[in-house]
Amino acid sequence: MTNKTNHSILPVDFYEQPTLELAKSLLGCLLVKKTADGTASGFIVETEAYMGPLDRAAHSFGNRRTKRTEVMYGMSGLIYTYVMHTHTLVNVVSGGIDNPEAVLIRAVEPYSGLELMQERRGIADIRKWTDGPGKLTKALGITMEDYGQSFTAPPLYLAAGKQPEHISSGPRIGIDNTGEAKDYPWRFWVTGSPYISRTIKKRMMPSPSK
């Protein structure tokens, strides 16, 4: 019953660092969601940075301002949820007021509320519960109702976790634009974690004879 570890909620100034730094700092932090069914949480093991108006892959590219992207123009530390096909994705607003940057949470390592997560996911393999941005929101119970709230207070909040031993970086996933930023290493993950969304793809493979 007692929770031995101190997982205190991260203060608002935690979010007031450059977005690329924040994307790395978020690794190891504990993402917690409280619902009527119970509480579930996991340590963040993979993130991606979206660098605002100049980033072709960002929803806020060119300062596009719509009902959906509005929260990105607000203060750092707000929750930006977004629906992709049948899945909800969750981001941490960054960059400060009127600087619409964000960090996508791509994968977490299940920590508490394991039974609840398994029930929500419906599969046995714990490695597949939260190893993708759409999967972790389902496992934790994150929905569009969290849009515009703050990560500094329940029901959805971030708390201090554990320090990753080593961080890796690489190109973002699922981005197929021709912008100059497409190859920038703006994806970050905990090196060696079995819970990241995709294993590192070898890119130096000799092309098959053709």
Partner DNA sequence: CCCGCGATTTGCT
Partner DNA sequence: GCAAATCGCGGGC
Which residues bind to DNA, rule: CB under 7 A?
48, 50, 57-60, 64, 66-69, 80, 82-87, 89, 91, 102, 104, 121, 128, 132-135, 144, 172-177, 197, 199
Q: Which is nearer to DNA, 64 or 180 (CB)?
A: 64
Q: Which is nearer to DNA, 41 or 69 (CB)?
A: 69
Q: Tell me which residue of 82, 99, 193, 204 sits closest to 147, measured CA to CA.
A: 82
CB of 175 to DNA, least distance (A): 6
Is-contact 32 111, C-beta < 8 A?
no
Q: Which is nearer to DNA, 16 or 70 (CB)?
A: 70
Q: Tell me which residue of 23, 17, 9, 11 sits closest to 172, measured CA to CA.
A: 23
With residue 89 as reference, give the H or E element that holds it. Answer: strand 87-94
Is-contact 62 53, C-beta < 8 A?
yes
CB of 12 to DNA, least distance (A): 21
CB of 137 to DNA, least distance (A): 8
Q: Which is nearer to DNA, 7 or 69 (CB)?
A: 69
Burial environment of residue 16 by CB neighbours within 10 A (0 to 12, 13 to 18, 19 or more): middle
Is-contact 60 69, C-beta < 8 A?
yes
Q: Which is nearer to DNA, 43 or 82 (CB)?
A: 82
> Taking every pair of C-alpha atoms in the chain, what is the biggest distance, in angstroms?
62
Bridge partners of residue 139, in order along the sequence: none
CB of 81 to DNA, least distance (A): 10
CB of 99 to DNA, least distance (A): 14
